[in-house]
Structure 1
Amino acid sequence: MQTADSEAPLLWLAGILPYLGLALAILILLVFIIAKVWVFPSPEVRLSRNRRRAKRKRGRG
């Protein structure tokens, strides 16, 4: 297929776009998983972390 030089970058972009979309979707999914586990943990994990912090503060004084 003969293409003009001005169309070549667009064809390259059209070929790689699905892979970029897939990579972006995987990255967003990983960010959500990490946020769920690390930033917004379940209440039990949060309570145990708070207890550990309180023990450390008491030990210093």
Structure 2
Amino acid sequence: MPLTAAQIASNTLKSKTRAKVEHVFGFMDMSMKGMYIHNMGIKRSKAVIGLMNLVYKMLRKIQLAM
């Protein structure tokens, strides 16, 4: 059964948001091995995640500057 115009518009909006988020996680997973955090304690895990986000943002800035 074909999609309605409202469903197509909804899928387009969701796809744009999903693509932006998935690229970030894909980069962290593939280049920084980010999906596996082996730390003791929530504070250390939060610090590692914060540093990973910082590195991603720095690398993204360099990529956009080129």
Q: Which has the higher helix share?
A: 1
Fold in common (TM above 0.5): no
Between 1 and 2, higher relative CO (CA 8 Å, sep ≥ 6) is seen in 2
